[in-house]
Amino acid sequence: MFKKNIFVIGDLVIDHTIFVKVPESPHEPVRGEKIFEVLKRSSTAGGAANTARILSILNEGKTFLWGVIGHSKWGDFREILNNSQNLDDSRSNIEFRGIADETNAQMNTISRVILVPGSPPDFHSGRQHEFRFDEYHHMHIPTEKRLSLLNNLERAHGKYTLHAIIIIDLDMGCLTSELVEKIADFAKINNIPIFVDSKRDKTKYEKIDAKAILPNLQEWCLLTGQQHPEAVSQWRAKISSTTGLIEMAHFSFQHLESV
Dihedral sign of CA atoms 52, 53, 55, 60 in order: positive
Q: Answer whether residue 144 shows pLDDT above 60.
A: yes
Give me the chain's average pLDDT, please. 86
* Residues constituting the chain: 259
Q: Answer whether residue 62 shows pLDDT above 90.
A: yes
Rounded to 5°, angle at Cα 143 from 142 and 145: 70
According to DSSP H, which parts of 62-189 are helical?
Answer: 77-88, 143-146, 148-160, 177-189
Q: How far apart are CA 143 and CA 32, in angstroms?
A: 48
**CA nearest to 207, candidates 171, 189, 175, 183:** 183
Specify whether the CB–CB gap between 48 and 11 falls below 8 A: yes
Q: Cα 94 to the chain's mean position, in Å?
A: 15
The pTM (predicted TM-score) of the whole model is: 0.83
Expressed in percent and rounded to 5, the helix, strand and coil fractions of the chain are 35, 25, 40
**CA nearest to 163, candidates 8, 10, 51:** 8
Which residue ranges form the domains of the chain, and what is each CATH number? 6-214 (3.40.1190.20), 216-259 (no CATH)
Q: Cα 95 to the chain's mean position, in Å?
A: 17
223: confidence class by pLDDT, cuts 50, 70, 90:
low
pLDDT at residue 256 in the model = 62
